[in-house]
Chain A
Amino acid sequence: MDSNRLSGPLADPAGEAGYPSDHPDRVGFFTDTSVCIGCKACEVACKEWNLLPEDGLDLTGMSYDNTGALGATTWRHVAFVEQHGSTGSTVDLGMPGMGEDQVRWLMSSDVCKHCTHAACLDVCPTGALIRTEYGTVLVQDDVCNGCGYCVPACPYGVIDIRPDTGGAAKCTMCQDRLGAGLMPACATACPTESIQYGPLDELRDRAGQRVAELHDQGITEARLYGHDPADGVGGDGAFFLLLDEPEVYGLPPDPVVTTRDLPSMWRHAAGAALTAAAVIVGCFVGGKR
């Protein structure tokens, strides 16, 4: 196994997965949270297009975010982060002010990251999870065994088992729309262009420019997350512009594809298996009945 197939930068995941060289460009999402207004149009559009059932109408009681997290039937989730005190600035959206006691709202639409090295895809025992020609990660519903291995493997806590079908489910990046030349439903519905869809290279350029622009405006806390092909998952197909540390939005600060350590894991397991064999044999050697 080439180590690059398990972790590290990888220029062309679709090509590596066996698609011929004329496959489409790798596509992705750039979610610019500095212009997200928390309208949840993306959540609704995603549910509508993908025929996802509602998740119940329970209130979480923690904030205006009553969705809580990504899940098997929530493929876009808008986080609402309420911060008190002078915790930095936001882009002025013309929203009503709160006086001297600053309250800052950070809103961010989260989604499956479509990792370059996707742990869910790696650990799937049946091959139900595949890399598409667009470089995204897709669950084939008819092949999925419902074993749930992908669930704890995902370093972002995205994929989950749907109770009604028993199969794993997550964002498909609207695979059915892409083939027809359409944008994913969430990006189409986003009124502020917080969710941008397109070829990943182009999005990375655009994101770099946007961060520079915000830094020029004095918004120094603006940063990109998941854009770096040298990070623990080989870079994300869906990356973000954040205005605070990732953990504030419920994102892991330094996720790593677990498969990176798999060769070492198998070596340790082989060593332990040989140890077990040696111990058992040793217990039979030279002893009495």
Chain B
Amino acid sequence: MKRGDRLMVPEAEFRSYYGRPVLKRPVWKVPDVPAYLYLGGLAGASSTMALCADLTGRRRLARSGRLAAAVGATASVGALIHDLGRPARFLNMLRVLKPTSPLSVGSWILAPFSALSGAGAASEITGRLPALGRAAATTAGVIAPAMTTYTAVLLADTAVPGWHAAYRELPFLFAGSAVSSAGAVGMLAAPAESGPARRMAVAGAALEFAAGRSMHQRTGLVGEVYRQGRAGAAWRAARVLTGLGAGAALFAGRSRPAVIVSGLCLTAGAVATRYAIFEAGRASVSDPRYTVVPQRDRLDARR
């Protein structure tokens, strides 16, 4: 290049087509999809919490868990439908079952789960058909753990570098976040029986932190997207909120204000976590560096 010539693109250590993205940005909307991720996780872990509470004779916690599961699952379906545009499209998701499509598998988890947890909650509220309601809630509680992690596969099974590179850790991160979210709701709704919910809040947060740490260490260059910009800010906010919430849950005991602070912090933290992950994926697509550099390194290593 001669002196005085103007660079068409900023000089970079990798080459690309005028700095344009290689991949297409996900068309999924905010807040629809982050909300869908949070609500699905909350519903799943709440349902299993309700089942355990029921079996150990904690009626109020069981009731709160069943209601949270039904509300979470229904709202999750609502968020998905809003993203799709119209209700018929959710039903159309069920026209086939495709094991290679996490969205198809997920729809087949979400649809029966939301129906069963809805039935369980309806029976809980009305007091009608208690045996059937309990059977529905129990079945929901058994399939519920799948609700907490399938969405991680949904994101990871894409070419989006920030999501695909983290496919081993994302399910554990989502599982941990879901458990602490459900713990938060249990603490808020059933203070008298909140012992297990408090332990869930703490244990879930610990699992989430451990998975997040491992994700950072393993994802290399692509992991940058979780530390920078909007995604980085949301991620840091999520760490602080979840840490505060878990700390408060650990020492809350029966203190009502501490329980409320903890529950709200954990909920906000879980929402922020989902948003951060969603946004990090979008950021990793917008900059061709995250597509080209790891692939180029892989290719050069093979040569």
Binding site for B on A (CB under 8 A): 1, 6, 60, 62-63, 68-69, 79, 81-82, 84-85, 101, 119, 122-127, 145-149, 151-161, 166, 245, 247-255, 258-259, 261-262, 264-266, 268-277, 279-284, 287-289
Closest to A153 in B: B158
**Overall SS of chain B's interface:** helix
Asked if B149 and A272 make an inter-chain contact with CB atoms under 8 angstroms apart, the answer reads: yes
* Interface residues in chain B, defined as those with a beta carbon under 8 Å from any beta carbon in chain A: 1-2, 5, 8-9, 14-18, 20-28, 44-45, 48-49, 52-53, 55-56, 58, 83-85, 89, 92-93, 95-96, 98-104, 107, 145-146, 148-150, 152-153, 156-160, 163-164, 167-168, 171-172, 174-176, 178-179, 182-183, 192-193, 195-197, 199-200, 203-204, 207, 281, 285, 288, 291-292, 295-296, 298-299
- Whether B203 lies near A269 (C-beta < 8 A) is no
A153 to B17, CA, bound (A): 21
Is B298 a contact of A152 with CB atoms below 8 Å? no
Q: Are A268 and B103 in contact (CB under 8 A)?
A: no
In the complex, are the beta carbons of A122 and B100 less than 8 A apart? yes
Check B171–A252 contact: CB distance below 8 A.
no
Q: Which residues of B contact A155 (CB under 8 A)?
A: 23, 159
Pair A254/B17 contact, Cβ less than 8 Å: no
Which of A119, A159, A272 is close to B152, meaning CB atoms less than 8 Å apart? A272
Cα of A253 to Cα of B15 in the assembled complex, Å = 11
Query: 27 A-B contacts, Cβ less than 8 Å apart?
Result: A63-B18, A69-B20, A84-B2, A125-B93, A125-B101, A125-B103, A126-B92, A126-B104, A147-B89, A157-B21, A157-B159, A245-B296, A248-B16, A252-B22, A254-B295, A262-B100, A265-B102, A269-B150, A272-B148, A272-B149, A273-B175, A274-B145, A276-B178, A279-B207, A284-B52, A289-B58, A289-B195
**Given contacts A248-B15, A276-B148, A276-B179, are A63 and B23 in contact (CB under 8 A)?**
no
Nearest residue (CB) in A for B65 is A280
Which chain A residues lie closer than 8 Å to B172 at the CB level?
268, 271-272, 275
Partner of A84, one of B1, B21, B45, B159: B1
B198 nearest CB neighbor, chain A only: A283
Partner of A245, one of B15, B52, B157, B281: B15
Asked if B157 and A247 make an inter-chain contact with CB atoms under 8 angstroms apart, the answer reads: no
Bound-state CA distance A258–B162 (Å) is: 13
A273 touches which of B83, B103, B145, B159 (Cβ 8 Å): B145
**Which chain B residues lie closer than 8 Å to A166 at the CB level?**
85
B203–A283 touching, CB < 8 Å: yes
